[in-house]
Structure 1
Amino acid sequence: MTQTAIPYLFMRGGTSRGPYLNRADLPDDLDMLADVLIAMLGSGHPLNIDGIGGGAAVATKVAMLSRSADDWADIDYFFAQVSVEDRLVDFKPTCGNILSGVGPAAIEMGLVGARGGETQVNIRAVNTGARVSATVQTPDGQVTYDGPTQIDGVPGTAAPVALQFMDTVGGATGSFLPTGNLIDTIDGIPVTCMDVAMPMVIARAADFGLSGYESATELDENTDFFAHMEAIRLQAGALMGMGDVSKSVTPKFGLVAPARTGGTIATRYFMPWKTHPTMAVTGAQCLACCVLTPGTVADAPIPNAGPAPITLEHASGQIDVLVDYDLTDTGIAINSAGLVRTARKLAAGHVYIPASVWGGN
């Protein structure tokens, strides 16, 4: 045998896509697992020509599922971000868009049974410790992907997947404000370093000489901006207690600007070495919480109490986040954040990697 076959589902989750795998079908050792995922996705080539990656960071993501031993959760969701060209795998972050497909995939894999017209799947995000409740449409005891819900960045409509995120504060750094400050100034740029669902460094677009309304392509072509942003990100990572982040996709970077199409605020999100074509679900939560926190680079007029609907304008449209929070003497305390996404099963079967990489269990 020259190749190893690994069962998989190939799914779109939100505005990302990738293989959804049973953790039991993969090696336990993380170094070996990284080698398997690199071979599977074809990392090391800009088109991922020798794997099933899509040649973009939003299409080189992997979900690995298992039944959870947690008293609350049904499923453990372990996420991996595989680089397009650098043959690197980052197990530190999680991904909320890919998480949109975890509930449907768990049912499809037989890890969770469908229950009535809607099935609630409680998910533990292994990478960060967050708890997420996903409501999946299951008429007649089967996952349905057809429905009326449209999300910006995905053509057409599909069945809604309602997500409720809990325990998202400080998942990577242990703190809502990892530096202890509402604003830090790094290389002359005021930034807010915040850790809610995703550790982020957030700045005003205008402080970089940008409008904040540039397209993803325009931003990707601005090499001077990317160089400045990366220099700030590296310093911020150290200030946030994350150490050397030069080979990690976290912390992510975000830009904010005044809203111009009826939303709460305009945003751009970076992955971090390319501009996200839409918006990460985790990043949306962090940005929304930054908006709600007085004194940050993104603060805006807010209601006196939660839950508060926040609409983020992004490069392909908008995303809505409903943040439940309490006001405190020092700012806000986040209880949960709710979003609605969609998912669709694209393929199922086996994905093959060279047996020389891994011979299987």
Structure 2
Amino acid sequence: MKNLREEYYYDDLYDLITIKDCLREKKWINKNFTSTHKPKRGKPITVTLDFFTYYICGERYKRKAETINEWVNRDRARDELVESTSPPQRVICKNCSSLMNMTMKHLYDIEDNERVMFWFECLKCKKRRALFNDGQEYKSKPNFCPKCSSELSEKTTKEKEILITKISCLQCNYKTTESIDFEKDRREREKEEKKDHDLLQKYRSVYCMTEGQGQEYVSSVENMKQLIDLMKESKKKQNDPAYRKARKAKMLKISRLKIILKKSLEKEKFTNLQFGKPETDRYIAVPFTVEDTDDKREEYSSRTVCKKIIKNTLINTNWRLMSEGMTYRLGFLKGRIRGYEDEDEMANVFRTELNK
């Protein structure tokens, strides 16, 4: 018997599992939730049930293609194992020592150990043997008497569609009979198959998402995750001192910055502030020059005072004096300031300053 089935078989099987999962959860919620959480007015609670069912359907859709692919690959590998495995050679009948013919082979996967089982029959005495591909013989496990623990004797006969096994103990009076009604089993199997078919017909459109519905669910889940991440990030920022300072910082354009800096510098006799051509990369870096008109200040004092003025002026803005510092030559000072354009950049700046 082939393990690999038609594509629709796996599709039906997966959808049937989805339907049964949803119906089971719906039954559980109706029993354990809505009965104890009845609203004071209006209709019974259905929002929770609908949302929960929608979630189950969506998650089942997400895993469908991958799961079916795993099933197909598993069954294909099993068939390839059976087809490619050669039977043991020269199997001898234990009863009459004649060569036996192979009549059947199939996959034996009991105890999570997949092997190929080969069945042999003697043409002379009709005795049978079952061997695995490694030559090991299959032996059924003996049954023991529930009364005296001796090994039981079994005799099997077939009457029409019923297989009857008479079991007896040779050491005591224990006897019992077991039967397998193949016709009854067939009817029950057909009944179960019809029940599954009816479930698919009735609920497939209810619980099994189409491609469009599934993609809509995937997008909504992704959007929800992004929203949750944004909310978490927002809450984190609200409690972060660096972000609080960044929100309060003045976002100055270059024209306004020049006015403020010029005013602060001129109070301490630094004049003729000039901005050069800005460098626009990840950040905006603006070169500047300024003249120290205080003849009493030497180089060190001039650079120190000018740097302090600029830093204090920019402390609550989106601009900072760059770490390379300033150069001085004969009262002429040169440096660069950097501008930050968004809240995250400013928060990193304030975080560094707070940690100093």
TM range, normalised to the smaller chain? Answer: under 0.3
More helix by share: 2
Over alpha carbons, which structure has the higher Rg? 2
TM-score, normalised to structure 2, is 0.17
TM-score, normalised to structure 1, is 0.17
More strand by share: 1
